[in-house]
Amino acid sequence: MSKHLFATIVTATAVAANNRGEGDGSTLSTLQKITRGNDQYTTISAEAIRWGLREYLQNSHAEATNRTFDPDKDQYNFKNESFDAKAFIDDDLFGFMDAKKGSDNKDATTKRRGALEVSRAISLDPYWGDVAFGSKGGTKGKTSIHSTEVHCTAYQYTIALTPESLKKPERAALALDAIGAVRHVGGNHARFLYDFRPESIVIRVTEDPSPWIMDSFKRMGDTVGCPKLLRLVEVGDVAASELIVAGEIADTPYGGQLSKLGVKVFRGVKEAIAAAKNLLKTEVAA
């Protein structure tokens, strides 16, 4: 059976704000939001996270990345506009679509579904409407007044990948490297810096096609816990041997309880990612 890689990441807590760049004339820069229960939470799109993962590949594996972003010209450049999933890491992991019409007016679309699936990131904390106010003085007609929605929170998201669906299965390890080193999300004019690397992470390598570990983390007072994940392991829905848990969660009672149940628990996220990469290497070799 196929082996699948799943990971749920919770970021550090920081102040998030819109970084979409040039405004559309509105004086309020808004955050995307969803409603859960009776509260609103802020959210970051999967496309924005994928941008951050692409940026990592561009900076660390430029020679094997097809699509690169030039911030000076504010444009993307391609090594091969026809795409090549075997030659390029990003074409393999993220897929592509080139929608063109052939000379005979038939659909000549070239496309590949992205092997790496990314969920939306959802804030751990409700959004209570915090807004930062700013203004710029000048001569008459040159002044500006603007407001920016801000949210001090951590974000949680999940990725899914089946290594054998890649042209080069060993590239699954590069996806883990990218997750551990995401700096920006969304791209464009980065007015705000938000640390999007994992503060805590749960990784699952399994034959089960369903992740089960989505939405594992929950705000518990001033820290983060994982009661849902603990229950899944206790009742046997997720085997302890399939899991690697790491980060600040290791220093909470949940980390100790998971360790007693047989889950591999690391205090360091980078150590856990290295362990997961070694596990994937063994699976690919097998």
Residue 157 lies inside a defined structural domain of this protein: yes
E strands along 37-120, which residues? 39-44, 67-70, 75-78, 96-98, 110-112, 117-118
Structure tokens at 165: 């669906």
What is the full DSSP assignment across 201-227? EEEEEES-SS---TT--EEETTEEE-H
Residue 144 lies inside a defined structural domain of this protein: no
Residue 143 lies inside a defined structural domain of this protein: no
Q: Are 110 and 82 in contact (CB under 8 A)?
A: yes
The sign one gets for the Cα dihedral 37, 51, 161, 84 is positive
Cβ atoms within 10 Å of 34's Cβ, excluding its own: 13
Residue 142 lies inside a defined structural domain of this protein: no
Residue 228 lies inside a defined structural domain of this protein: yes
User: 21 or 63, which is more confident?
Assistant: 63
pLDDT score, position 29: 78
Structure tokens at 113: 């579904």
Total count of domains within the chain: 1
- Residues 131-143 have pLDDT tens digits of 888 776 666 666 6
* Containing structural domain, residue 126: 4-137+150-285
Give me the chain's average pLDDT, please: 88
- Residues 74-83 have pLDDT tens digits of 788 999 888 9
Length of the chain: 286
pLDDT score, position 93: 96
Residue 234 lies inside a defined structural domain of this protein: yes
